[in-house]
Amino acid sequence: MNRKILVFFSIILLTGCGIVKKKTTYGKERTITVAASENDSLVTEKKLPDSTKTVVVLEKADLIINSAMAYSGVRYKYGGTTKKGMDCSGLLYVSFGKNDIPLPRVSNQMALEGKKINLKKVTKGDLLFFKTSKKGKKINHVGLVVAVDGRDIKFIHATSSRGVIVSSLQEGFWNYAFVKATRVL
């Protein structure tokens, strides 16, 4: 009888191990998408003079946004400027630099560049600046506007907790920490 019980539990144990499978997510690549509104155009088509060919031309802001989005999911690293690790100002420094637009390396110096604009006039490619420290009195965070849909402004940036992500300015923390917007393009 004891032997039958032992065999019964052994069979349940052996077959049970194959039924339960732990789902792992660490091997999956994270992707971030940003929905465009109907009046956002990522590309424009232009006819070449004396030609029947049409060439697709990306706007400068779209090229910069594409450069920044290539770092989506990259972990945060203070002072980082590579796919191994990126900080907020490094993300913009590299993205603008790849498109031949030089920017200072740190966010509080970036905030001195370009023209200050009203939040209602923000468009793709503009910069958003934040003060995220309770004690600090200077700008210490920057993001790049990737989409505007009415009052909802989406921006890409590197956070110390989640790496390079797209956030909304309507989120409580970012709305509270927002200081100003500038246009460098």
pLDDT per residue, tens digit, the chain (185 aa), is: 666 555 555 555 444 444 433 343 334 444 444 544 444 444 445 554 555 554 445 689 999 999 999 999 999 999 999 999 999 999 999 999 999 999 999 999 999 999 999 999 999 999 999 999 888 789 999 999 999 998 899 999 999 999 999 999 999 899 999 999 999 99
88 catalytic per annotation: yes
Asked if residue 158 is part of any domain, the answer here is: yes
Given 157, 163, 174, 182, which residue is catalytic? Answer: 157
Given 68, 111, 127, 141, which residue is catalytic? Answer: 141
Q: How far apart (Å, rounded) are the C-alpha atoms in residues 39 and 49?
A: 27
Asked if residue 14 is part of any domain, the answer here is: no
Asked if residue 183 is part of any domain, the answer here is: yes
157 catalytic per annotation: yes
Contact partners, residue 56, CB within 8 Å, separation at least 6: 43, 44, 45
Asked if residue 25 is part of any domain, the answer here is: no
Asked if residue 120 is part of any domain, the answer here is: yes
17 catalytic per annotation: no
Structural domains of the chain, count: 1
Nearest of 110, 96, 105 to residue 63 by alpha carbon: 96
What pLDDT is stored for residue 177 in this prediction?
94
Kindly report the CATH number assigned to the domain that includes residue 133: 3.90.1720.10
In which element (H, E) is residue 17 found?
A: helix 2-19
Domain interval for residue 104: 60-185
Asked if residue 19 is part of any domain, the answer here is: no
Asked if residue 33 is part of any domain, the answer here is: no
pTM of the complete model beyond 0.85: no
Given 88, 94, 128, 153, which residue is catalytic? Answer: 88
Asked if residue 27 is part of any domain, the answer here is: no
